[in-house]
Structure 1
Amino acid sequence: MSEQPSTDGEPTITFYRLQACPFCERVTRSLKEHGLEYRSRFVEPLHSRRDVVKRVAGVRTVPAIVDHKTGVTMAESANIVDYLESTYGGEDVDSATPAGAAADAGGED
Structure 2
Amino acid sequence: MSETPITFYRLQACPFCERVTRMLDELELDYQSRFVEPMHSDRDVVKRISGKRTVPAIVDESTGVTMTESANIVDYLERTYGGSA
TM range (shorter): over 0.9
Q: Could you tell me the TM-score, scaled by structure 1's length?
A: 0.77
Q: CA–CA distance in 2 between the matches of 1:33 and 1:12?
A: 17
Residue identity (%): 75
Give, as a single letter, the amino acid of the residue that structure 1 aligns with 2:38.
P
Q: Match for residue 99 of structure 1?
A: none
Q: Which structure is richer in relative contact order (CA contacts within 8 A, separation 6 or more)?
A: 2
**What are the residue-to-residue correspondences of 1:69-108 with 2, within 5 Å?**
69-90=62-83, 92-93=84-85
TM-score (norm 2): 0.98
What is the alpha-carbon distance in structure 2 between the residues aligned to residue 72 and residue 50 of structure 1? 20
1:31-50 matches, within 5 Å, as 31-50=24-43
Task: For structure 1, list consecutive stretches of 5 or more residues without a partner in the other structure.
Answer: 1-7, 94-109
Count of residue pairs brought into register by the alignment? 85
The answer on whether the counterparts of 1:12 and 1:36 sit within 8 Å (CA) in structure 2 is: no
Residue 22 of structure 1: CA displacement?
Answer: 0.3
More strand by share: 2
Residues 13, 66 of structure 1: 8 Å contact kept: yes
Root mean square deviation, CA, Å: 0.6
Partner of 2:55: 62
Distance apart, 1:79 and its partner CA: 0.3
Counterparts of 1:36 and 1:22, CA distance in 2: 19
Residue 9 of structure 1: how far off its partner (Å): 1.4
Asked if residue 13 in structure 1 is aligned to residue 9 in structure 2, the reply is no
Any stretches of 5+ residues in structure 2 without a counterpart?
none
Larger radius of gyration, structure 1 or 2? 1
**Pair 1:23-2:30 in alignment:** no
